């Protein structure tokens, strides 16, 4: 037991873990998933569901793996008849009042009750002749519905609000089999991080109104990405169905967002599915923007850049990828260059129970990345300089109100009706964050990669690809990092 | 109130000596009767020495678990680094048990004196006496006695407060009691941590039952050897116990006997047995959470921890519930299951759902709709409810069901065969 | 001032914890190292003053103790002695658990329900004077059947004695 490590075996597999590790976590390292509901690594231990009962040699009774700490030489057995019978008993008890809602329940396909019943449960019910407890659905607040009939009282939601959000707005009400999750009638579940209770709920009891009846879990493709809602850089998963983003969920990252995302980030995905996208490159001919192919569009840009000299201004979005931002700078490297961005600011909303985790005031994912590359926040000054610049490059800044006598090259996803960028000489359609891969640098200087979840519409390409093509043609090879 | 009775010659009167003596309730009256001398003595002793005397005496927890009291006290940290707490468990709610109320009603200062000695032994800074909400008379009496004791400086610098429960049997479980004092739902806690390490407000805590603490002054005053000598059978069970006898007996009440006393004598000699002309059918010896005994087992049972275990049950709280031949065992077992279903805190799956389900099955059997597989189902569910939860309320619900089916199967089968109608309380 | 969670108290709400009652609560707070621990006593105070504990009172208690209304509600609904709705002038609790059950407790309950006019357990009698409920073991099993009429603990009640009790409290 030297150096604070403990040796034990789980189902015959030896593992070595730090002292103080819970048996349920040690089991994971042995490749054993002990069935459980109330336990969650991001929440304080409750030990109430009794699902994780395992046999431990020398212990007189079965023990719950989520509340038992490893000891040297411990022998844990999860598959012995007493342990399996006990867990099967728990499942039976959970199912007696649980409605057969699978056909209409959002959780189906990603439901831990389904999973463990399928794995370890009984074939049929012995409760057939009795009525199930019934309570009507409740609207807890902005996005959360509570379906009491499906609730297994694991209390993850109560513990999340009490210990992690530190705003105990959910309770357990009543006693015995009359118990349910309650909320004071005049309160709402409107905490900025409340949506996590829906993820935490192992069954379809807490549901997102936004996702209600939208898609089946098995229809979803999952892609790792990074939230663009603010500069925290929470790791997320895009759930897409038929190439439409239908849901955002947190991806665990113990250094950034633990297991959670805020509601702002959670709801901040609908714009990724906008239909009013620029679908082809556009160049100005005879005073009007005309659709052309990429060769022609890029050729036009190259001609503009080769034919200009003096000042160049890059107005960029702090949501553009670091690759795109770097390439944009290289493309303009022959000019007297300045680059700037502006960030929408909002109110910070920390998750009190987790250090260094908040919905950040800076509502953009890559301001730090932009700054690292030499872009500044002197946006107003940049606009001023742009008026007399030779070239203005606008990258994904669709509200940009720039006016210039020089050439205006616009890379973006949409083209607003009254946008200044309708006066551009060249308009190049780009992919949004769900349609490309790239890197963001969060506020703590952490570089994080995101992946492509769906194809870009029409002829749109990732901004990084476009700008790298231009740089190559102009002879500005990619600088070594 | 027509209580208490005059002590029966076969009783060993220690705790109940002044039951019925109104003057004993007052501080002056208690001192006149030799009260608070044990406390003076204890205060001159080192806390560890006090604990050793109690260990030596063999005193075990009288609330139901029977854990050696001196040993429990010795679990408190040797070095005092944090505030220590004493909790007095006066939440008496185990069906069949009504002894702690008598101690509080008639000898409140006995409890206070015992608490003061315990507080000294465990170096407590604060003591809370948790009294169930329904005990309105004991509350008033304890309030008055506590005011008198504080005026007389009984507790020295130790703060003692009464805390009122609000209707929850589960708050008699020691960790649930602590949660209730802390202003939470009365949910039992998972152990570890144990109360002596992290209990009330996270501080080292000892929880003791009323009857246990009331025995302490006697042990200090008359010595551990004296207490140990009060033993009729197994040397591991010493001292006297107040047995609360109720149900179908002629003279219900609390009777104090030496450990190892025959249950038969308690029921027949002291309580007059069942009403005239009726035979004893069954008995639950330790409050409703322990297995039911048949008549034969009852009549050959010695009342100490080991003696009752030998008969397949437990001494528990010593609440002796007597059922005679007029009792519908199936109905009463249903009523007990209903009790547990009502009191379940709802944390553990097996208890929350199991107590209600077993009650439903029992009700169906009583309604004449039971199926033959229901008995096996009840036994199987009881097995799933035993030894797998945070506290033993779940096990307690299973105990009467398992022992009832085992020992009174014929009554169940009569219902299943449609040969019977339920007989509620006579 | 807006109490937490947008709980609006309404124009006609009379706070409970003012004047002497507030003083009493301050005294209670001194007994515990946390404000939360004063919750059960505070709820008893509120019930004593108001007769029952409404959602609004829960919100007031929460505010006074630095808790959330939802938290207070979770505690109130756990304990059976806190009334969450108005009850009759005489709130009667009758034990019917097994030791009292075999001594005729159900007959006592029936007698009370009939003679008070309450008819059903939990319902309030038409004249508003009685609410009778069935409760679990009251800890007086040797003196069956015990009942509580508000704070009065009455032992050895039989159906015959019910008449006298009803008369006495009406």
pLDDT digits (tens, 9 = 90+) for B322-374: 999 999 999 999 999 999 999 999 999 999 999 999 999 999 999 999 999 99
- What Cα–Cα distance (Å) separates residue A55 from each residue in A6, A25, A58, A64, A71? 19, 15, 9, 9, 14
C8 is a domain residue? no
Q: Which of residues 300-339 of B touch C (CB under 8 A)?
A: 319, 321, 323, 326-327, 331-332, 335-336, 339
Residues of C with CB below 8 A from A148's CB? none
Query: Are C20 and C62 within one domain?
Result: yes
Residue B254, in any domain of the structure: yes
Q: Same domain for B102 and B189? A: yes
A416 versus B131: the higher-pLDDT residue is B131
Please list the residues that pair with A392 across neighbouring strands.
A313, A408
Q: Work out how many domains chain C is built from and give that number.
A: 2
Radius of gyration (Cα) for chain C, nearest Å? Answer: 18
Among B183, B321, B332, beta carbon nearest to C75: B183
In a domain, residue C85? The reply is no
Q: Which residue has the tokens 């008359």?
A: B222
- Looking up residue C152, the CATH number of its domain turns out to be 3.40.30.10
Nearest neighbour of B349 by CB, restricted to A94, A176, A178: A94
Tell me how far apart the alpha carbons of residues A413 and A462 are, in angstroms, rounded to a whole number: 10
Could you tell me if A7 lies within 8 Å of chain C, comparing CB atoms? no
Residue B7 belongs to a domain: no
Determine whether the interchain pair A61/B387 forms a contact, defined as Cβ–Cβ distance below 8 Å. yes
C110 and C145 inside one domain: yes
- B34 and B148 part of one domain: yes
**Nearest of C22, C71, C56 to residue C42 by alpha carbon:** C22
B82 and B219 housed in the same domain = yes
What is the C-alpha separation between A444 and A325, in angstroms, rounded?
19
Residue ranges making up the domain that contains B373? 329-416
What are the tens digits of pLDDT across the range B46-58?
999 999 999 999 9
Does residue C97 carry a pLDDT above 50? yes
B275-285 per-position pLDDT tens digit = 999 999 999 99
Contact flag B254-C142 (C-beta cutoff 8 Å): yes
Rounded CA-CA distance A287/B338 in Å is 86
> Each residue of B77-116: pLDDT tens digit?
999 999 999 999 999 999 999 999 999 999 999 999 999 9
Q: How would you write the pLDDT of chain A (481 residues) with one tens digit per residue?
A: 568 999 999 999 999 999 999 999 999 999 999 999 999 999 999 999 999 999 999 999 999 999 999 999 999 999 999 999 999 999 999 999 999 999 999 999 999 999 999 999 998 889 988 999 999 999 998 999 999 999 999 999 999 999 999 999 999 999 999 999 999 988 899 999 999 999 999 999 999 999 999 999 999 999 999 999 999 999 999 999 999 999 999 999 999 999 999 999 999 999 999 999 999 999 999 999 999 999 999 999 999 999 999 999 999 999 999 999 999 999 999 899 999 999 999 999 999 999 999 999 999 999 999 999 999 999 999 999 999 999 999 999 878 888 999 999 999 999 877 677 888 999 999 999 999 999 999 999 999 999 999 999 999 999 999 999 999 999 875 554 4
Using CA atoms, how far apart are residues A347 and A456, in angstroms rounded to an integer?
32
Q: Is residue C5 part of a domain?
A: no
* CA A372/CA A440 separation, integer angstroms: 11
pLDDT at A417: 75
Instruction: Mark whether B135 and B273 lie in a shared domain.
Output: no
Question: Which residues form the domain of C54?
Answer: 14-76
Chain C residues with CB under 8 Å of B135 CB are 139, 153
B289, B375: one domain: no
Q: DSSP string of B226-247? A: HHHH--SS-TTS-SEEEEEEEE
Supply φ then ψ for residue B61, to 5 degrees. -55, 130
- Could you give the 3-state DSSP secondary structure of residue B160? strand
- Distance (Å) of CA B320 to CA A358, B247, B282, C122: 60, 8, 10, 31
Chain C nearest CA to B185, separation (Å): 5
Q: Does B219 share its domain with B266?
A: no
**Domain shared by B307 and B333, yes or no:** no
Q: Tokens standing for B112?
A: 């206070």
The reply to whether B6 falls in a domain is: no
* Chains near A (3 or more Cβ pairs under 8 Å): B, C
The answer to whether residue B194 neighbours chain A at the CB level (below 8 Å) is: no
* Mean pLDDT, chain B, whole residue set: 96
CA distance B81 to A173: 37
Structure tokens at A246: 């239908």
Mean pLDDT of chain C: 93
ipTM, 2 decimals?
Answer: 0.94
Do B287 and B318 lie in one domain? The reply is yes
The rounded distance, in Å, linking the Cα atoms of B4 and C140 is 12
A2-89 under CATH 3.10.20.740, yes or no: yes
A145: CB partners within 8 A, 6+ apart: A137, A138, A139, A206, A207, A208, A209, A212
List, for residues B224-277, the tens digit of each pLDDT value: 999 999 999 999 999 999 999 999 999 999 999 999 999 999 999 999 999 999
Cross-chain CB nearest to B132 (options C38, C139, C156): C139
Give per-residue burial for A161-181: e unless 16+ CB within 10 Å, then b: bbebbebbbbbbbebbbbbbb
Cβ-based contacts of B180 with chain C (< 8 Å): 40
| Domain range list for chain A | 2-89, 100-114+125-219, 282-473
Third-level CATH fold of A100-114+125-219: Alpha-Beta Plaits (3.30.70)
3-state secondary structure of B12: coil
pLDDT value of position A171: 97
Please state, in angstroms and rounded to a whole number, the distance separating the CA atoms of residues B49 and B121. 8
Average pLDDT score over residue span C134-151: 96
The residue-averaged pLDDT of C53-75 equals: 97
Q: pLDDT tier at B3 (50, 70, 90 boundaries)?
A: low
Q: Does residue C8 have a pLDDT over 70?
A: no
Residues C102 and C67 occupy one common structural domain? no
Q: Which chains reach chain C with 3 or more Cβ–Cβ distances below 8 angstroms?
A: A, B
Assess whether C31 and C69 both reside in one domain: yes
CA distance B339 to chain A (A): 11
B205 phi/psi in degrees, rounded to 5:
-140, 145
Mean pLDDT on B104-130: 98
Q: Work out how many domains chain B is built from and give that number.
A: 3
Between positions 141 and 170 of A, the ones with CB within 8 A of C are 162, 167-170
Of C76, C106, C121, which one is at a domain's C-terminal end? C76
Say if C96 falls within a structural domain.
Answer: yes
B129 with B249, same domain?
no
A92 contact B CB<8A: yes
Question: Per residue, what are the HEC states of chain A?
Answer: CHHHEEEEEECCEEEEEECCCEHHHHHHHCCCCCCCCCCCCCCCCCCCCCCCEEEECCCCCCEECCCCECCCCEEEECCCHHHHHHHHHHHHHHHHCCCCCHHHCCCCCCCHHHHHHHHHCCCCCCCCCCCCCCCCCEECCCCEEECHHHCCCCCHHHHHHHHHCCCCCCEEECCHHHCEEECCCCCCCCCCCCCHHHHHCCCCCEEECCCCCCCCHHHCEEEEEECCCCCCCCEEEEEEECCEEEEEEECCECCCCECCCCHHHHHCCHHHHCCCCCCCCEEEECCEEEECCHHHHHHHHHHHHHCCCCEEEEEECCCCCHHHHHHHHHHCCCCEEEEEECCCECCCEECCCCCCCEECCECCCCHHHHHHCCCECCHHHHHHHHHCCCEEEEECCCCCCCCCCCEEEEEECCCCCCCHHHHCCEEEEECCHHHCCEEEECCCCCEEEECCCCCCCCCCECHHHHHHHHHHHCCCCCCCC
Is B362 a member of any domain?
A: yes
- What pLDDT is stored for residue A369 in this prediction? 97
Domain boundary residue among B303, B324, B345? B324
Class of domain A282-473: alpha beta
Domain shared by C68 and C116, yes or no: no
Residues 166-195 of A with CB under 8 A from C: 167-175, 182-188
Which CATH number belongs to the domain containing residue B391 in this structure? 1.20.1440.230
What's this model's pTM, rounded to 2 decimal places?
Answer: 0.95
Interchain CB contact of B343 with A (< 8 Å)? yes
Check whether residue B56 and residue B155 sit in a common domain.
Answer: yes
> What is the DSSP secondary-structure string of chain C?
-PPGGG----TT---SSSHHHHHHHHHHHTTSSSSGGGHHHHHHHHHHHHSS--HHHHHHHHHHHT--HHHHHHHHTTSTTS-SS---SEEEEEE-SHHHHTTTHHHHHHHHHHHHT--STTPBPTTS-EEEEEES--S-GGGPSPEEETTEEE-S--HHHHHHHHHHH-
The answer to whether residue B14 sits within a structural domain is no
Token pair for residue B351? 């208890």
Contact C70 A169 (CB under 8 A): yes
CB < 8 Å to B319, chain C: 99, 141
The two three-digit tokens of residue A438, written as one number: 């790239």
Using the Cβ of B347 and the Cβ atoms of chain A, whether some distance falls under 8 Å is answered with yes
Contact C68 A168 (CB under 8 A): yes
Q: Does one domain contain both B36 and B171?
A: yes
Judgement on whether residues C22 and C68 belong to the same structural domain of the protein: yes
B15 falls within a domain: no
C2 close to A (CB below 8 A): no
Query: For the residues C93-100, what does the mean pLDDT come to?
Result: 97
Of A174, A175, A184, the CB nearest to C70: A184
Contacts of B279 (CB under 8 A, 6+ apart): B295, B324, B325
For residues C98 and C67, state if they share a domain: no
Domain shared by B206 and B304, yes or no: no
pLDDT score for B152: 96
Domain containing residue C29: CATH number? 1.10.10.1590
Nearest to A50 among B168, B345, B388 (CB): B388
pLDDT of residue A472: 93
């Amino acid at each position: 037991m030297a150096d604070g490590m403990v040796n034990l075996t789980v189902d015959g597999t030896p593992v070595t873990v730090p002292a103080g590790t819970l048996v349920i976590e040690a089991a994971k390292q042995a490749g054993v998933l002990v069935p459980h509901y109330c336990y969650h690594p991001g929440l304080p231990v409750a030990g109430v569901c009794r699902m994780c009962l395992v046999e431990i040699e020398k212990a007189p009774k079965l023990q719950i793996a989520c509340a038992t700490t490893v000891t040297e030489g411990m022998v844990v057995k999860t598959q012995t008849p007493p342990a399996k019978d006990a867990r099967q008993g728990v499942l039976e008890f959970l199912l007696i009042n649980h409605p057969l809602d699978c056909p209409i329940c959002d959780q189906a396909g990603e439901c831990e009750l389904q999973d463990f019943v399928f794995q370890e449960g009984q074939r049929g019910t012995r409760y057939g002749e009795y009525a199930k407890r019934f309570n009507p659905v409740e609207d807890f607040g902005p996005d959360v519905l509570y379906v009491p009939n499906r609730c297994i009282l694991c209390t993850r939601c109560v513990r999340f609000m009490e210990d992690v959000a530190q705003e105990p707005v959910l309770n357990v009400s009543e006693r015995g089999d009359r118990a349910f999750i309650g909320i004071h009638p005049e309160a709402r579940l409107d905490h900025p991080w409340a949506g996590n209770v829906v993820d935490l709920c192992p069954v379809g009891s807490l549901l997102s109104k936004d996702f209600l009846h939208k898609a089946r879990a098995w229809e979803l493709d999952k892609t790792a990405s990074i939230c663009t809602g603010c500069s925290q850089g929470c790791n997320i998963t895009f759930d897409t169905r038929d190439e439409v983003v239908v849901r955002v969920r947190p991806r665990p990252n113990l250094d950034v967002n633990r297991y959670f995302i805020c509601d702002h980030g959670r709801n901040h995905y609908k714009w990724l599915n906008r239909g009013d996208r620029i679908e082809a490159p556009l160049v100005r001919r005879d005073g009007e923007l005309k659709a052309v192919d990429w060769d022609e569009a890029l050729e036009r840009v190259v001609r503009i850049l080769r034919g200009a000299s003096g000042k160049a201004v890059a107005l960029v979005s702090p949501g553009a990828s670091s690759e795109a931002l770097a390439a944009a700078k290289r493309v303009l490297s022959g000019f007297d260059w300045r680059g700037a961005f502006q960030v929408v600011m909002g109110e910070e909303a920390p998750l009190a129970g987790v250090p260094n985790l908040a919905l950040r005031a800076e509502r953009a994912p890559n301001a730090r990345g932009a700054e690292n590359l030499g872009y500044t926040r002197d946006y107003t000054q940049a606009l001023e300089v742009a008026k007399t610049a030779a070239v203005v490059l606008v990258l994904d800044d669709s509200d940009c109100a720039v006016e210039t006598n020089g050439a205006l090259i616009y890379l973006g996803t949409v083209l607003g009706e009254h946008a200044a960028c309708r006066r551009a000489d060249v308009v190049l359609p780009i992919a949004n964050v769900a349609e490309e891969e790239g890197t963001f640098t969060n506020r703590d200087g952490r570089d994080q990669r995101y992946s492509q979840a769906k194809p870009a519409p029409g002829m749109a390409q990732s901004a990084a690809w476009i700008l790298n093509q231009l740089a190559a043609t102009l002879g500005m090879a990619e600088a070594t990092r | 109130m027509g209580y208490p009775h005059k002590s029966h010659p076969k009783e060993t009167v220690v705790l109940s000596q002044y039951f019925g003596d109104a003057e004993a309730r007052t501080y002056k009256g208690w001192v006149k009767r030799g009260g608070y001398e044990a406390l003076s003595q204890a205060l001159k002793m080192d806390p560890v020495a006090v604990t050793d005397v109690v260990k030596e005496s063999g005193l075990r927890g009288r609330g139901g678990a029977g854990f050696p009291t001196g040993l429990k006290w010795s679990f408190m940290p040797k070095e005092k680094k944090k505030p220590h707490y004493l909790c007095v468990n006066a939440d008496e709610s185990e069906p069949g048990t009504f002894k702690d109320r008598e101690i509080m009603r008639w000898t409140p200062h006995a409890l206070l004196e015992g608490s003061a000695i315990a507080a000294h032994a465990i170096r407590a800074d604060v003591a809370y006496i948790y009294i169930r909400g329904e005990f309105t008379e004991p509350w008033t009496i304890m309030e008055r006695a506590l005011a008198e004791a504080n005026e007389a400086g009984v507790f020295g610098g130790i703060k003692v407060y009464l805390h009122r429960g609000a209707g929850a049997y589960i708050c008699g479980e020691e960790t649930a009691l602590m949660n209730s004092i802390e202003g939470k739902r009365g949910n039992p806690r998972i152990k570890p941590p144990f109360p002596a390490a992290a209990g009330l407000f996270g501080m080292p805590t000892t929880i003791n039952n009323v009857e246990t603490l009331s025995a302490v002054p006697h042990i200090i005053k008359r010595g551990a050897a004296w207490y140990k000598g009060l033993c009729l059978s197994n040397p591991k069970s010493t001292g006297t116990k107040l047995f609360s006898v109720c149900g179908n007996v002629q003279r219900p009440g609390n009777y104090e006997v030496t450990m190892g006393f025959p249950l038969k004598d308690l029921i027949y000699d002291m309580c007059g047995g069942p009403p005239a002309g009726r035979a004893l059918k069954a008995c639950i010896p330790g409050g409703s959470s322990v297995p039911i005994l048949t008549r034969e087992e009852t009549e050959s049972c010695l009342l100490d921890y080991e003696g009752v275990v030998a008969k397949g049950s437990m001494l528990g709280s010593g609440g002796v519930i007597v059922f005679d031949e007029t009792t519908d065992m199936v109905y009463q077992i249903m009523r007990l299951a209903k009790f547990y279903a009502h009191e379940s805190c709802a944390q553990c799956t097996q208890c929350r759902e199991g107590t209600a389900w077993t009650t439903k099955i029992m009700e169906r059997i009583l309604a004449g709709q039971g199926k033959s597989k229901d008995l096996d189902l009840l036994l199987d569910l009881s097995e799933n409810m035993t030894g797998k939860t945070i506290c033993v309320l779940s096990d307690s619900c299973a105990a009467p069901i398992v022992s009832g089916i085992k020992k009174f199967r014929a009554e169940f089968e009569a219902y299943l065969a449609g040969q019977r109608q339920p007989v509620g309380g006579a | 001032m807006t109490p937490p969670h947008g709980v609006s108290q309404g124009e006609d709400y009379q706070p409970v914890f003012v004047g002497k009652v507030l003083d009493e609560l301050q005294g209670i707070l001194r007994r515990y190292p946390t404000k939360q621990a004063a919750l059960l006593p505070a709820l008893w105070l509120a019930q004593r003053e108001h007769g029952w504990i409404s959602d609004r009172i829960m919100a007031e208690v929460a505010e006074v103790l630095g808790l959330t209304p939802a938290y207070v509600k979770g505690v109130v609904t756990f304990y059976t002695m806190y009334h969450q709705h108005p009850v009759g002038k005489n709130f009667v609790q009758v034990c019917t658990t097994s030791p009292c059950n075999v001594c005729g407790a159900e007959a006592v309950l029936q007698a009370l329900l009939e003679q008070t006019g309450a008819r059903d357990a939990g319902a309030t009698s038409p004249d508003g004077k009685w609410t009778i409920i069935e409760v679990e073991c009251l800890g007086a099993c040797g003196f069956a059947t015990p009942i509580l009429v508000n704070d009065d603990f009455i032992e050895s009640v039989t159906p015959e004695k019910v008449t006298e009790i009803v008369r006495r409290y009406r």
